Structure 1
Amino acid sequence: MLQGILWNILDQDPTLFYHFQREYRSARATCAPKTIDWKVIWLQRILLSIAEYPVKKEIFLILDALDESEEPDRRDVLSFLLTLCNRSGTCVFRVFMASRSMTDVQYSVRLAATMNVIRMQDETEADIRTFALSFLGPELRFTGRLLQEATEYIVEAGAGVFLWVHLIRSELQLCVERGFRKRDVFKKLFDLPTKLEAFYLHMLNNLNHGSRQDTEDGRTMFQLALFAERSLTVTEIQHLLAMKAILENGLDVTEDSFEDELIQSMETRIIHCGGNFLEIKEGDVVQSIHQTV
């Protein structure tokens, strides 16, 4: 994490390079040619040196998805960054950290009395409640006790994560499409995973129950959406799937064979085979619903 922070600092302000020079030369003398295994103490010394920059300067560090970083050294890094922020000098560090709730992050936050904490679930509670009511009532026709208990559960379990609530809505909408009893949907709601990773596994398991063709098309869609050099449109993916089918079946590429293999209602096919992992944005661009995918 510290190495990434320093790379970005140097990339945005090359004039700070002289703070790196001493540690860089020391590293070159002790490491194999063309390889530097940066030690944490070296990286910390560079940051402390930058904090003594002789000209007045502010450096803003924005660390997103802190909960997805490597756990063993996370607490040490957070403690060091807090120490860095509390130093008095001409160069001032400001750190903004975004994270889902974690014990070590909360512990580190308590180390600094000047740390300001914004709990996302407190800021978004009213909006998530409104969103939950928008589908629990009109779509699932929950009323009275069911509506109240289901809404409160979603607000609490969602913990400010709109993505989770969106996935809950998509999951419950399947019940509407098949016909449902309200008590069964209510029970299903409480059985669904509350952690995002576990919910993704639940979605993947649902995809495994599809037909072989669904699985093959879904796998290809994921590859195209996640690994293409640029974002692809619905039509481009439709054409690519058609060409893939022609080649795999050993057919000649003709206008007729191409038309025969084009999937109709492609938008519906993407949603069905993508299992809520893929979405169609403005401009008919197909992409994953979130970076966590």
Structure 2
Amino acid sequence: MAARHVVYRCELDHPLRWRGYTTGDGDIPVHARAPSLGQAQQLMTATTVGDGNRSAWVEHTEHDAGGGLWVRAALDERARAREHTTRVLMETLTDQRLRARLATLPACGIGGVPVVVCVPGDAVEWVLGQHDGHGALIVAAAVTNHHLWWNVLVPADRAAETDLGVVGSLAELGLTDPEATLDDWMAATDCGGLVLLAPQNAKAAPLHRDGAAADPYADRCTGALKRHAQLLGEFETTADPLRAAELRARAHEWEGAIQRSVAPGPETAPPHGDQQERASR
């Protein structure tokens, strides 16, 4: 069963500051207001599922970041890691030039532009389920303590309303596989790109320049090479000897993964130690 995303937006200028709503393609199906988060949760439960069963829910809070941006963080078992991403995000948003670029993004159905606080391992499908099919959804993750990766997800017919460069659709980037994660997304695109939602009428599989069908195995190999290069780049620039040793060890693990990926065999997954290291930042 697909997760149902329920969001509680904190609007401080409203007497009933907590606004509960559900995300998803189409019109907003559920809407409730309450003076506290707990009361909003109770109202959403009663309105959406009368028996109180919320096992398929993923709940999020949204807080105003100014300029029409709303920081959305999931209330899940990875909330602590998401707090780190939020801190890096808010530091990044002190750049007024970046805010000016984001100000051109089209608003979602309920108003404003949500910024989804992500961590490594989040499923692309999980992120996609938070898009309402109308405006922009910013997807953000911390790469280091002071470096944020972000992309913007929009419908194809809204791309012209922004001044960001389109890097491709989810399908063209090889991100429509149900097993695709944020790690795959970060390996496939640079920071600041505009990614298009897959169209309703799916077309044939995208072709590479040589005319061959897109190969998910080759995409993963490319992602592994990019991650290895990123780790080596951080290794060369850090002044912390402990951090340098950690980065070199992670890079060595990726070297092994790349070597294993050369010969036909099981799909190459990110080294386990690298996943833990990235999630702890």
- TM normalised by structure 2 equals 0.29
Larger radius of gyration: 1
Give the structure with the higher percent helix: 1
Give the structure with the higher percent strand: 2
- TM normalised by structure 1 equals 0.28
